Every structure is written in C-alpha cells, then in structure tokens.
Chain A
Amino acid sequence: MLQFLIRRLLLSVPVLLLVTVLVFMLIHVVPGDPGRAILGPEATPEAVAAFNRAHGLDRPLHVQYLSWLAGVLRGDLGRSLVDGTPVSTLIAQRLPATVELAVGAMLVAGLIALPAGILAAVRRGTAVDHASTVLALAGLSVPQFWLGILLILFFAVRLRWLPASGYVPLTVDPVQNLKTMLLPILVTGLRESAVLMRMMRSSLLEVLRLDYVRTARAKGLGGWGVIVRHAARTALVPVLTVSGLQLAGLLGGLVITEQIFVIPGFGRLIVDSILNRDLITLKGAVLVAATMVVAVNFLVDVLYAWLDPRIKVTGGARA
C-alpha cells in the first residue's frame, strides 16, 4: 500500500507540472502582448510598455514561467490586477460558498441516484428502468441556467417561498444561508444525480452477476436482502470513485450555478477575473481548479485501492 501511495504520488507530479505549463502558456502565449490584452485597446503604447515592465511581462517567457512557478510553489499566486489583493486570499474567500454548494449537491445527488440506480438495476428491462434511463438523459441534457431560471420563476417569483439570490455565509446566518442555497444545491444536485444514477445501475448489474451473489441467493436470502446487504455494498466502490471525481469537477466548475444565483464562489471569481481582464487572478484560479481535480483524483485512487485490494497501480494510471 505504501509503495502504491508513493508511485501514485510520483505519477501526479509530472501532470501537475504540465498543468502549470499549460496555464502559463494559455495566458502568455496569446496573440498580441499581455499588457495590451489587460489594458485594452484604448491604452497608449507607452502605458502598455510600462505595465509590462512593472509586472515583469517584458522578460523572456521561460524566466517569467520559472519565477511564477517558484511563487506558486511557495503558495504565492500573485496579486489581483484590480485591487492588489493576493490571489490566494481571494480564492480562500470564495471557496467556502463553493464547497458548501458542491458538497450539498453531491448529497442531493446521492440521495436521488442511489435508490434510483438500485431500482433500475434490480428491475432491469422494465418500464421503471427505461423511465430512469430517459430521465437520466434528460437530466444530463437540461441546461443548468435554464433549470435555475425556471426554479427561480416558480419558487421565488411566483410562490415567494425562497429568495432568488442574496447569498449569506453559513457562519453568519445558517437559516438564511440554507434558504438561499437550497435552489442552487437542487439545480446542481439533480444534474449530478443523472450521472451517478447510471453509474450505480451499471455497477450493481455487474455485481449481481457475480458468484457470491448467487451463493447468497442459493442460501435462501431473499431478493432485497441480497441486494442491500451484499451486492449494493460492493457496487458502491466504483460509484464512490465517480462521485469523488464529480465533486472535484464541481469545486472547480460551478461557474454557471454561481452566476445564476449570484453566489460569490470560486466559479464567479473566474468569471469576474475574465470580465475584469484580471489575468493574474484568472491564472491562479484556473491553476487551483486543475490542482483540485488532480488532488481529488489522487485521493480517489487511494481510497479505491484501500477499498478494493485487487486494484494495483499500472503504467498508465490516471492523473
């Protein structure tokens, strides 16, 4: 296990390095020069040159990259071009709302997906199964911003049960926080449940074919007893993996939900930094989003190996 941990950790290093190169290239190897892109077309050439000099943007690219990387390794992501706040501080301020949203959404997704997936697998080929497949595809296809707007129209505008926006931190007022977060959590959770439900279904179907399930049945255990006590537990292993990956994707990618419900989270930080042409913040935030995915992937692989000792790391392991 220790050997696995070390090998797996070593595999993440080159990927993370490549991620930093990609993020850097994305921002710096754009057509035109970065000062112009940030200051906009109105700025004078002198202003652009001065800006580039002040931010070290006139140095050779590899020098810029290495100094940025050295900063990143120390936890220094630079300072926002808008107000000079350290980017790491901005990210730390924005993450709690996103974490709450992501965790809440995954709870909702699990609550819907696990029973629905089990039911679809057990009743394979019946109307229940087909209905759940179509519903899952529909859940994958519905644009979140539209679902969000419809829910706002219904619950906030028509019924006036819930506010349409107006985020309050959990630590300030838990009740009001829950009221504002309920719709965003639902919108995100419904979508993620579609993916998770299909995973649960296919995983359980695979397990139900295994010998030990047949043995348990032969020993006289009734239908649901076998499923709940034996099969569903084994089937949960890959489902856990997927939900871990979903969580990672959500932490970095809740842009849309946060935009609809005006939640000051990590995704909005990315959108705001784009709209403000704050490329330093954008660079830092995108790097953090990708690093979270790599980190959660690592944790999920470790958890997977721990839950299922048959898994051994092989050459082309995931990053």
Chain B
Amino acid sequence: MSVMPNPEPVAAPGGRPAPGPEPRPGRRAAWRRFLRHRLAAAGAAVVALLVLVAIFAPVLAPYDPLAQDYSAVLQPPSAAHPLGTDELGRDVLSRLIYGARLSILAGLISVGIALAIGLPLGLVSGYVGGFWDEVVIMRLTDALMAFPSLILALAIAAVLGPNFTNAMVAIGISLSPTFIRLVRGQVLAVREHEYVEAGRAVGAGHLWQIARHILPNISSPILVQVTLSLASAVISEASLSYLGLGTQPPHPSWGTSLRAAQGYLTVAPWLAYWPGAAIFVTVLAFNLLGDGLRDLLDPRLKT
C-alpha cells in the first residue's frame, strides 16, 4: 500500500491485480489484451496528433491567437470563425491550437523537473540505503506527500509568482515524490538480482552498476509513470491557470481560456466547451497510453 490522497488524475491507486491465471484463457484473454492495446494505441495516436498540432500551430491556426478584433466580439461559430470568437474578438480555434503548445510544453517541462528530482534521489535512496535513505530522503518524501498536490503546487506557484515557468517548477516539485518512491522501490527490487550481484562480485563500480544494470531494468515502470504524470501535469497546469496562478493572459492556455469563459456562460457558452474538451482529450490520451503501457510493459505494477 503506497496510496496517498492525490486529487490529481494519476492512474487509480492500486490499479488491477497481479495477473493470476486467467479464468478463461484463450480467445477472450487475447481479445482483452488486443482491446487494451487498442486503447493504448488510441491514446498514442491522439498524443501524436497533439504534438503535431503543437509543432505546426503557426501553419494550422487560421488567425493570430493574440489578435483582437473589436468588430467581432463574442461571435458564435461561423464560417469565418469555426469555433466562434472570445470576449476580445480573438479566434477561439486559433487559441485552441496554440493552447496545445502550452499544454504539451507544460507537461514535458514539469515531468522533466519531477524526473530530474526524483530519479537521482530515488537512486541514492534505493542503492545507497542507510541514513540517507531512511532518515533524509524518505522522510522528506513522506512530508512532501502530506501536502495535497494541488495545494503544494499552488503554494509554490504563489510564492514564486504566477507565471508559466514558475507553474512548471511548482508542478514538477509536487510530482516528484511519486518518482522518488517509485525509483527507490524498483532499485530495491533490482539490487538483489543475480546480475547485479555478479557485477558486484567482479568489482564493477557503483556508477557502472547503476548505468548498466539498474537503470535499464527499472526503465519500464518509470516510462509508465512518466506517461501518467504527463496527464497529471497537463491538468495541473490547466488548474493553476484556471485559478489565475499559472499561465497569464493573453497567452492562450486552455485553463486561462476557461477562466475567462466562465464570465460569459449565458451569452457565449461555446467559449467554455472547447478548451475544456481539449484538456479532457489530452489528459485522457495520456492516461490511456500510460494505462496501456503499464499492462504491456510491466505486469508487476498492476498489484
């Protein structure tokens, strides 16, 4: 049991049970695995599409996402503006497309930060053990995990000052305890394997051991966690921006757009549909991909 309260959308704690003997092996099990592959594949396809949209945003967007047009304020969807215009006459579709950039970037940077904190600390904790592990790193992790993660991110973002970069730092820190724990646990499990002991016996150095024997063997669960954390990070960035503490206007973050849309619900409800749908689809895609990868790569994680 290492389940902690986490209001963020990481995969459900616990997940599915260890793969015991299937009640009815054969066609049904194969079908089930195929379906799960398909879900993962669907997730991967959507993620790939989003990355393409993010890269080619300038080509795809019909308008400049920041260009204001006071003659076309709060217009419903039309031929000129397929998703309508916002309160400043900006094209909703163009802002949505550029928002993909911010969201994907937000996910990559903050998960990168979480990994940069969690991987070395988890490695030291698991590999070195002793004082640094039990007294310093794990207790610090316990304390960090005591904070509801959005609150931790909020507080850090607030203290550093609300902007996109600081939001990434805040989200990265709030995601890092999960990585510390995961990496530590995996290292502890792998450390006792024969190939690591064999390496020790022939006098392999610690860094060599870590680079050659440990890291490659713990990469699958880390990859799974990275994918699921991307989902968390995207929704956290949107949440911080929705609260006004992440990306600041006029940048077209999906969360910022939703925050603005809430003021025009009765006159321009379409403003609220699209940014939220975009967040939903992005987060769902990462979650599907992560969930599928977990099934495919690492059955141990299912317990």
* CB–CB B148/A289 < 8 A: yes
* CB–CB A145/B258 < 8 A: yes
Residue A275 CB within 8 A of the other chain: yes
Residue B28 CB within 8 A of the other chain: yes
- A164 vs B262: C-alpha distance in the bound complex, in angstroms? 11
* CB–CB B147/A290 < 8 A: yes
Residue B6 CB within 8 A of the other chain: yes
Residue A177 CB within 8 A of the other chain: no
* CB–CB A318/B235 < 8 A: no
Q: Which of B134, B143, B266 has the most CB of A within 10 A?
A: B143
Task: Find chain A residues with CB under 8 A from B158 CB.
Answer: 274, 282
Q: Shortest distance in angstroms between B194's beta carbon and chain A's nearest beta carbon?
A: 25
- A314 vs B277: C-alpha distance in the bound complex, in angstroms? 45
Known: A27-B159, A202-B16. A153 touches B272 (CB 8 A): yes
* CB–CB B35/A149 < 8 A: no
Q: Shortest distance in angstroms between A249's beta carbon and chain B's nearest beta carbon?
A: 3
**Which residue of B20, B142, B147, B156 contacts A289 across the interface (Cβ within 8 Å)?**
B147
- A199 vs B17: C-alpha distance in the bound complex, in angstroms? 9
Q: Which of B14, B146, B158, B245 has the most CB of A within 10 A?
A: B146
* CB–CB A245/B151 < 8 A: no
* CB–CB B5/A15 < 8 A: no
Known: A140-B287, A253-B150, A282-B158. A18 touches B16 (CB 8 A): no
Task: Find chain B residues with CB under 8 A from A197 CB.
Answer: 12
Residue A52 CB within 8 A of the other chain: no
- A270 vs B272: C-alpha distance in the bound complex, in angstroms? 25
A253 closest partner in B (C-beta): B148
- A286 vs B159: C-alpha distance in the bound complex, in angstroms? 13
**Which residue of B23, B24, B138 contacts A316 across the interface (Cβ within 8 Å)?**
B138
Residue B51 CB within 8 A of the other chain: no
B147 closest partner in A (C-beta): A290
Residue B283 CB within 8 A of the other chain: yes
Known: A150-B272, A253-B7. A205 touches B17 (CB 8 A): yes
* CB–CB B266/A157 < 8 A: yes
Residue B4 CB within 8 A of the other chain: yes
* CB–CB B239/A256 < 8 A: yes
Contact-residue size bin, chain A (C-beta under 8 Å from the other chain) = 35 or more
Residue A171 CB within 8 A of the other chain: no
- A242 vs B283: C-alpha distance in the bound complex, in angstroms? 23
Q: Shortest distance in angstroms between A62's beta carbon and chain B's nearest beta carbon?
A: 18
- A134 vs B5: C-alpha distance in the bound complex, in angstroms? 22
User: Interface code A171-209, partner B: CB below 8 Å = 1, 0 otherwise?
Assistant: 000000000000000000000001101110111011001
User: Interface code A288-301, partner B: CB below 8 Å = 1, 0 otherwise?
Assistant: 01110110110000
- A270 vs B9: C-alpha distance in the bound complex, in angstroms? 21
Residue B249 CB within 8 A of the other chain: no
- A198 vs B4: C-alpha distance in the bound complex, in angstroms? 15
Q: Which of A238-285 contact B (CB under 8 A)?
A: 238, 241-242, 245-250, 252-253, 255-256, 259-260, 270-271, 274-275, 279, 282
Task: Find chain A residues with CB under 8 A from B239 CB.
Answer: 143-145, 255-256
Residue A319 CB within 8 A of the other chain: yes
* CB–CB A252/B276 < 8 A: no
Task: Find chain A residues with CB under 8 A from B266 CB.
Answer: 157
* CB–CB A157/B151 < 8 A: no
Residue A26 CB within 8 A of the other chain: yes
User: Interface code A7-39, partner B: CB below 8 Å = 1, 0 otherwise?
Assistant: 000000011001101100011001100000100
Known: A153-B269, A198-B15. A294 touches B150 (CB 8 A): no
**Which residue of A138, A199, A271, A319 contacts B142 across the interface (Cβ within 8 Å)?**
A319
- A30 vs B288: C-alpha distance in the bound complex, in angstroms? 38
* CB–CB B244/A125 < 8 A: no
Residue A3 CB within 8 A of the other chain: no
Task: Find chain B residues with CB under 8 A from A161 CB.
Answer: none
Residue B218 CB within 8 A of the other chain: no
Known: A125-B32, A145-B239, A319-B143. A271 touches B284 (CB 8 A): no
**Which residue of A31, A238, A282 contacts B155 across the interface (Cβ within 8 Å)?**
A282
* CB–CB A157/B154 < 8 A: no
* CB–CB B139/A15 < 8 A: yes
Task: Find chain B residues with CB under 8 A from A306 CB.
Answer: none
- A248 vs B283: C-alpha distance in the bound complex, in angstroms? 24
Known: A141-B231, A152-B265, A294-B146. A146 touches B155 (CB 8 A): no
Task: Find chain A residues with CB under 8 A from B10 CB.
Answer: 140
Residue B179 CB within 8 A of the other chain: no
- A150 vs B13: C-alpha distance in the bound complex, in angstroms? 27
Residue A312 CB within 8 A of the other chain: no
Selected A-B contacts with CB under 8 Å, 21 pairs? A14-B139, A15-B143, A18-B143, A125-B28, A137-B288, A140-B11, A143-B242, A205-B17, A238-B1, A245-B4, A247-B5, A253-B7, A255-B151, A256-B150, A256-B243, A274-B245, A290-B147, A290-B148, A293-B4, A318-B4, A319-B146
